[in-house]
Amino acid sequence: MKQELIEKARAVIARNDRGHYTVPTHGLYPFQWNWDSALSALGIAHFDETRAWTEIETLFLHQWEDGKVPHIIFHEPDDGYFPGPEVWATARNVPTSGITQPPVTGFAVRRIFDRARDKAMAEKRARALLPRIHGWHKWFYRNRDPQGTGLVAIIHPWESGRDNSVDWDDALARVPTEAVGDFQRRDTSHANPAHRPTDEQYKRYIWLVQHFRSLGWDNSKLHDASPFRMVDPDFNAILIRSCSDLADLAERLGESEIAVESREFAERGIKAIDSLWHEGLGQYVCYDRVAAKLIDSPSIGGILATFCAVPKPRAEALAARIAKLGESARFMVPSHDPTAPEYDGLRYWRGPVWLIVNYMISDGLKVAGQDAMARRIDADSIRLIEKGGFAEYYDPVTAEPCGGSNFTWTAAMVIEILNSEKTPA
């Protein structure tokens, strides 16, 4: 059974492999996506280490001079996706988008390095990536934390990866829609529109893109100029974890300057993230920098914060919070509390379960000694793919597979989970 699932997962990845990068899935997402690639490399490394390193290197070949790693690399023309390169207009040789995505690469590289069978290759390739990843982390703190709070803001919901989360509803409502002009969405021709963001949300997503484009994609200006500035606990936790993993890796490779700076970023971040704790909900929540307030929204963003080394009592509280969600969800972990009025079990980030999120939460819980809950989440991840195949996401009550199918990172997570010792399957 286990071997059969691994073979199926490999077939999904092979289908989406474009040689030096993978697409998330054929049709819906026909280019290279930033955090998809980093997480997919983890799964690929189990059967082809060389190819796993290439996946990440390709991403960093398209890093901007200021340090940013864009969220999409448009390697080959494909008119099946909107917004394409002409909308972003970032004037790169190989076109890219102008925003970024959760910086999970530091974590992924360290993990691939730790497990490497070919140590010499791992050392050579990790050493070359180290300053580039560190450059990206510095870019974040320089451009997205201008006040030096220790936490960074995202300036577009797409940066979070959790595009249509309830967390953004109020802030997105402030984004104007006039002057956006007509456009034709492509996502809804590949996936069920009931599983995707609404047209109203899309107009606001595109307004932000046009606004940043009008500022010449100058990252020193975009943060302050954006009407959408959100401090997301999940995004920050991923950055903090990547900084701390990069610090460990840099120490081992004798790169002391990177090690010291990365450690400082992580330590400052861990202290600062506590300001996002919501006692009433028993989890972290987002902070809206424009409205200057915490957002009362029980989403997965504040639970995924367990991916960084939050204090033990916080990790315990998060495990209890997940157990509570389990009273209304059959499959862990829903991206929004099923008892909340905004919950929608089919619609992208407003309820469905995502395997990559499950993986990161489970990993954080294991580090914090919350093994029982971590094992339950891993088991649910495997049950979901047994029932519904390698979907983009799943309804947490019915297990219905949603969004795109044959997803690279879902397949990669299955390979990861089944190869980890603690998996019941």
C-alpha to C-alpha distances, 336 to 86, 206, 298, 349, 361, nearest whole angstrom: 34, 24, 6, 7, 14
A 10 A CB-CB count for 115 gives 13
Q: How far is the CB of 348 from ligand DGY (least distance, A)?
A: 8
Check if 159 is active-site. Answer: no
The residues pairing with 278 across neighbouring beta strands, listed in sequence order, are 283
Query: What Rg do the C-alpha atoms of the chain give, in angstroms?
Result: 20
Is residue 158 involved in binding ligand DGY (CB under 6 A)? yes
Residues 217, 218, 222: CA angle, nearest 5 degrees = 85
228 in contact with ligand DGY (CB under 6 A): no
Report if residue 167 touches ligand DGY, rule: CB under 6 A.
Answer: no
Residues in region 289-348 near ligand DGY by CB under 6 A? none
Is 386 designated active site?
no
Find out whether 70 and 102 touch, Cβ atoms under 8 Å: no
35 or 64: CB nearest ligand DGY: 35
Does 168 interact with ligand DGY (rule: CB under 6 A)? no
Please tell me the distance from the alpha carbon of residue 132 to that of residue 142, in angstroms, as a whole number.
15
Catalytic pick among 167, 234, 245, 392: 392
Nearest residue (CB) to ligand DGY, 71 versus 144: 71
Catalytic-labelled residue, pool 36, 49, 163, 255:
163
**Nearer Cβ to ligand DGY, position 156 or 268?**
156
Instruction: Of 298, 330, 95, give the one whose Cα is nearest residue 213.
Output: 95
Q: Which of residues 64-93 bind ligand DGY (CB under 6 A)?
A: 71
Q: Closest approach of Cβ 31 to ligand DGY, in Å?
A: 9
**232 makes contact with ligand DGY (CB under 6 A):** no
Confirm if 100 and 71 have CB atoms less than 8 A apart: yes
Nearer to ligand DGY, 10 or 71 (CB): 71
Smallest distance from the beta carbon of 58 to ligand DGY, in angstroms? 17
Residue 156: CB minimum distance to ligand DGY, A: 9
Q: What is the dihedral angle through the alpha carbons of 222, 28, 103, 235, rounded to the nearest 10 degrees?
A: 70
Q: Considering the rule CB under 6 A, would residue 31 count as an interface residue with ligand DGY?
A: no
CB of 81 to ligand DGY, least distance (A): 7
User: What is the Cβ-side half-sphere exposure of residue 74, based on CA atoms within 13 angstroms?
Assistant: 22
Reference 333, options 369, 294, 305; nearest CA is: 305
Number of residues that bind ligand DGY (CB under 6 A): 4
Peptide bond just before 333 cis, omega within 30 deg:
yes
What lies within 8 Å, CB to CB, of 272 at 6+ separation is 149, 150, 151, 236
Dihedral class, residue 109 (left if φ above 0, else alpha if ψ from -120 to 50, else beta) = alpha
Residue placing its CB nearer to ligand DGY in the complex, 158 or 265? 158
Q: Does 163 bind ligand DGY (CB under 6 A)?
A: yes
Residue 36 is a binding residue for ligand DGY (CB under 6 A): no
The answer to whether residue 187 forms part of the interface with ligand DGY (CB under 6 A) is yes
Task: Give catalytic residues, as residue numbers.
Answer: 163, 392
Instruction: Please report, as ranges, the residues that interact with ligand DGY according to CB under 6 A.
Output: 71, 158, 163, 187
